[in-house]
Amino acid sequence: PVTDTESKEDELRKITQYKAEEISEFEHFFSENLIGHTHFKDKFFRSLRNFIKLNRIKEKKILSVFLLGQSGIGKTEVARIIAKWLNPNTSLAKINFGNYSSQDALNSLIGSPAGYVGCESGELGIKTANSKAGIIVCDEFEKTTRPVFNFFLELLEDGSFTDSLTREYDLDGYIIVFTSNIPSADEFYKTIPPELQSRFDLVCEFKSLSETEKKEYVDFQVERYISRLSDEFARYDLTPAVKAKLADVPYKSTDNLRDIKRMVEQNIIEFLEV
């Protein structure tokens, strides 16, 4: 991960730049930060190592991962964790394709043609240029249009794209994570065009965490907030009993990790306000 100097913070970091021992460090970091989803982790790490080898001999430019399943079970978190490891000081290039269902969706993505009123360069170019981590997340991808599907078909093949102002963006070495609330693999094959399906390197259905994994997620969030709010917690003796109190939330009542995280946040806030 990037640390130390400002120049490093301004550098674009891609997973293909790292050596084998650093990739092992990444896998450890990723496993610790993504609770559950063991089956996905195993498949992802194999795909990642294959991608790095193929990229170095110029046989593959982009690693594409398609994650499907209900909302709030960790799909977008995959991209956030990767971005945090690559460069914790930059923004994540994230595009919500729930906003890309209209006829002019492609114009919004890469810019309007000359003579049209609207954004000149497009959201994809802007967010890619602003992020210094070689990863893009495409949320709710199933909601977009056929022209956008076709655009990504070319992008995954070429490893680059050109915006409406003819500026080329080189994504060689990038990871693109596509997420979708499509509920099952059967629906994936019905919704995503067959020619695009074959372009994805890894397609994986995310399942809800088990109760044990949800408890692990709660404990992880408690430790995270204790670390981030270390000054506020400095006056407390954080015994196992205190930590158990902070983690005492009704996590069994929901599968949505965002809801569980909010429960933990509320517990933390109420504890610190006493």
Q: Is the pLDDT of residue 6 over 50?
A: no
Q: Is the pLDDT of residue 2 over 90?
A: no
- Do 93 and 106 form a contact (C-beta atoms < 8 A)? no
Q: What is the pLDDT of residues 110-158, one digit of tens each?
A: 987 665 555 467 999 999 999 999 999 999 999 999 999 999 999 999 9
Q: Is the pLDDT of residue 3 over 60?
A: no
Please give the model's pTM, rounded to 2 decimal places: 0.91
- d(CA 236, CA 228) in angstroms, rounded, equals 15
Mean per-residue pLDDT of the chain: 92
Q: What is the pLDDT of residues 91-123, one digit of tens each?
A: 999 999 998 988 889 988 998 766 555 546 799
pLDDT at 121: 74
Q: What is the pLDDT of residues 59-89, one digit of tens each?
A: 999 999 999 999 999 999 999 999 999 999 9
pLDDT at 210: 97
pLDDT at 9: 62
pLDDT at 188: 96
- Residue 165: which residues within 8 A CB-CB, separation 6 or more? 111, 120, 121
- d(CA 138, CA 203) in angstroms, rounded, equals 14
Strand partners, 168: 162
Q: What is the pLDDT of residues 192-243, one digit of tens each?
A: 999 999 999 999 999 999 999 999 999 999 999 999 999 999 999 999 999 9
Dihedral pair phi/psi, residue 161, rounded to 5°: -150, 160
Dihedral pair phi/psi, residue 203, rounded to 5°: -120, 125
> Which pLDDT band holds residue 273 (cuts at 50, 70, 90)?
confident
According to DSSP, the β-strands at 160-162 and 202-205 are unpaired
pLDDT at 7: 52
